[in-house]
A and B are shown apart, each in its own frame.
Chain A
Amino acid sequence: MMTTLRLALVLVGALTPGLASADLGVAFVHGTGRQTDAYHDYWTPAFVDSVAAGLADPSLVLVANCDFEQAMWHDDAAGCLAGQLLELIDGRGVDEIVVITHSNGGNVVRWILSNPSFDPRYPAIIDRIRWVDALAPSSLGTPLADAVMDGNTFERNVGWLLGYGNDAVAMQQTSSMALYNAQWLYGTAGRPELPVGFWSIVGTDVESSLFDADSQCGGYGRNVGLELTQNWLAECSDGFLECSSQAGAGRVWVYDHEFTGDAEPLSHAQSRRACFGLDGLLRHDLEEAGA
């Protein structure tokens, strides 16, 4: 049902003068972490290239590489992303872009969309974004970040943070995200809507079995870990985020089982990979946007 709604809106957009664009580009925005080669390390060429094939010019692609271990407002996070988006827009003559985010990347993009007065570059970027496809966005944070921060709240300065523990994880605690959503970010319930569509794809479960080939997609080891971390979360989750968080900002485009083959769920590791038709869904989305 949600898919039908989204497609209907896409058609309306295609019929609206000035919206259709011959020079449509796509930007992939990674989640938490400091990326230097997200094309290979975070998304994989199989996913990016398959999705970008939906563009009239498949070379108009940006795979962002920024430091999303920082808080979203940090110059190495949103500032870095703004610079790279403008390289695609101004540097390569792209008229409009569809932004595809994963996980915390959705929050960084929402920062730009919600705070146009923060940076003179932001309004120009907002004007060029056709819409955002948010894959498993951590819009309301995750109880997993709460648990990870338990007992560690103020040890961050003394070096326990050698891995994933960082400002971005602290930011994705449920209480922290509630503050940011209430004060700095648009798109959640009770707040003004975002200036462009923010369409989430929600992962609802994790399956990991050595005897199930589907569990290999996205990495068997990752899915094993995510199946355990579901114990920290509500029944509907992708192993890192509860469904309510993924659906907490903008509008739900589709739940995984509504489009995947055999109603396979998308774990948090799988929602950035060419698993179960996700790449095809996004490729078709770009085809519709450029039509």
Chain B
Amino acid sequence: MRRGVSILVLAVGCSGDAVPRTFAAVAGDLAPSGLVVPRGDTSLPVASEAVSHVRALDPDRELAVRPDPLPDRSRRWWTTVTGDDLATGIALPTTAGGATVSLRPVGATRSGTGVDPDALVLVDASGTTHDAGSGMDAVLGWDELRAGDSPFAPGTTAFRIDPDLGAGAWTLRVDAPLSDDEVLVHVVEPDSALVLVARTDATAYLLGHTAVLDVEARRDGAEVEIRDATARAHAPDGAVVDVALAPSGAAGLRGTVVLEAIDVPPGATWTVEVDAVVEHDGVLARRNARVAFAYAVPSAGLDGRVALVEHARADPTLALGVEVVAPGRYAVAATVWGTDTHGRTRPLGTVQSGSWLDEDADAIELPLGSLLGTPGLGAPYELRDLMLVDQSRIALLHRQAVAVAFTAP
């Protein structure tokens, strides 16, 4: 009863010149090589009714062929220390004036007080002590940060090192009793020339895929040597995997992660963290970077069959063959492109269709509405940026830059 479509439409109403031409997925596309039943019951409550939606696009809108991964360009680092460490002083290397430092007791509660801002002491490389707020500006305790509507963890205290004092090998000390809880010390240097860049080779992967991680350090835009680096991948099921980094290119590093989590929550992402040490004007500077990418267990896939069909009193519709191994609400979405009088392809509109599919489903229909009648843009048409998503699990299962070419029925 929850089925939205029938495979029968694939064989109905196809005229000879309207048979769509399908394209195979190419490098850069996302496509499963096999289907797997997700473990656990992590799907969202979703509607069962079939819904399709069509709307026109601005034909002059510039649409990306496929998304580029967003690199993390980090000027920040963090470390976890104990209260005893802070009582004796921790190293706080900086590479530019005006570093902003925050301290978060890991076990603090929202009603707690955190680190006393008046107990913060900075000691510079020459041994000169700056205490009781000297050498710092904008010193704020948890009470002030809590009032600021910003998403700080409970107990956070923050300050900025006076920009006039410059950079170097600082020591940070807290002259007040602290609990046994660990304290997360976080430093951001917005004016630093030193940037750690981390990126992956795609924005989305599937179970069994290998993600490639590239890491490089740049100073004023020029690549510089990384003295030491480690990386860890955090799987959406909670597992943590060390990522081995090897030299790559002039001074960069590369690592790979085989993605194997099978029991994942909706909207699952993997996250890879990189810790690096770079020599900078005699200081061993630190940087952390973090990149995230989408991940899915391929519970359904497009099987490559496509037919352009016409129902009585209905708009032209593409029927796309699917294979489903786990029931859920699945949707296909794409942009439809037409050809103008100069032979250039331009976007006509977006189409989406979602419905509940059980394991015996074999097609999902994608009505095209009145898009094919758009003045000035005619055949040949193309279906681009074709996506199959599992709406029950907020998972991207298939994405193809150019998927289907067809003419009007």
Contact = CB atoms under 8 A, between A and B. Distances in A.
B240 interface: yes
Interface string B370-397: 0000000000000000010101001010
Interface string A175-211: 1101100111010011111010000000000000000
Contact of A225 (B62, B148, B347, B352): B148
Nearest to B30: A183
A153 B150 contact: no
A115 interface: yes
B302 interface: no
Given A150-B78, A162-B110, A176 B138 contact: no
B109 interface: yes
B140 to A, nearest CB: 5
Nearest to B111: A162
Given A152-B153, A226-B149, A228-B140, 15 more contacts: A115-B352, A120-B47, A149-B290, A150-B290, A152-B184, A162-B109, A164-B150, A165-B153, A173-B292, A174-B70, A182-B67, A183-B396, A189-B62, A228-B158, A269-B148
A71 B68 CA distance: 23
Interface stretch (A20-28, A54-62, A88-96, A216-224): A216-224
B190 A232 contact: yes
A117 B51 contact: yes
B157 to A, nearest CB: 11
A231 interface: yes
A8 interface: no
A119 B47 contact: yes
B138 A117 contact: no
Contacts of A122: 51, 53
9 contacts: A148-B151, A148-B153, A165-B153, A175-B290, A179-B294, A183-B204, A221-B148, A225-B150, A231-B188
B154 A162 contact: yes
Interface stretch (A139-147, A258-266, A279-287): A139-147
A68 to B, nearest CB: 12
Contacts of B57: 192-193
A32 B352 contact: no
Which 7 interchain pairs have the tightest Cβ spacing? A225-B148, A190-B64, A117-B354, A221-B147, A182-B67, A116-B53, A164-B151
B186 A147 contact: yes
B138 A227 contact: yes
A229 B53 contact: no
Interface stretch (B31-39, B84-92, B265-273, B313-321): B265-273
A73 interface: yes
Contacts of B110: 162-163
B267 A190 contact: no
A163 B153 contact: yes
Which of B47, B234, B292 has the most chain A CB atoms closer than 10 A to its own CB? B292
Interface of A: 32, 71, 73-75, 115-120, 122-123, 126, 144-155, 157, 160, 162-165, 169, 173-176, 178-179, 182-184, 186, 189-193, 195, 219, 221-229, 231-234, 239-240, 268-269
Interface in B119-169: 138, 140, 144-154, 158, 160
B259 interface: no
A232 B187 CA distance: 9
A269 B51 CA distance: 38
Nearest to A226: B148
A229 B292 contact: no
Interface in B42-86: 44-47, 49, 51-53, 55, 57-58, 61-64, 67, 70, 72, 76, 78, 80
B203 interface: yes
B333 interface: yes
A160 B52 contact: no
B203 A219 contact: no
Interface string B12-39: 0000000000000000000000000000
Which of B45, B52, B67, B389 has the most chain A CB atoms closer than 10 A to its own CB? B67
B294 A117 contact: no
A153 B184 CA distance: 13
Contact of B150 (A123, A154, A186, A226): A226
A228 B160 contact: yes
B243 interface: no
B400 interface: no
Nearest to B190: A231
Nearest to B79: A151
A116 B292 contact: no
Contacts of A233: 190
Contacts of B160: 228, 231
A272 to B, nearest CB: 10
A148 B67 contact: no
Contacts of B354: 117-118
Given A120-B49, A154-B234, A221 B144 contact: yes
B343 interface: no
Contact of A150 (B76, B292, B333): B76
B70 A183 contact: no
B106 interface: yes
Contact of A169 (B80, B140, B151, B184): B151
A191 B95 CA distance: 38
Given A117-B333, A190-B67, A232-B188, A144 B144 contact: no
A154 to B, nearest CB: 5
Contacts of B238: 154, 157
Nearest to A231: B100
Contacts of B269: 176, 179
Contacts of B138: 227-228, 231
B98 interface: yes
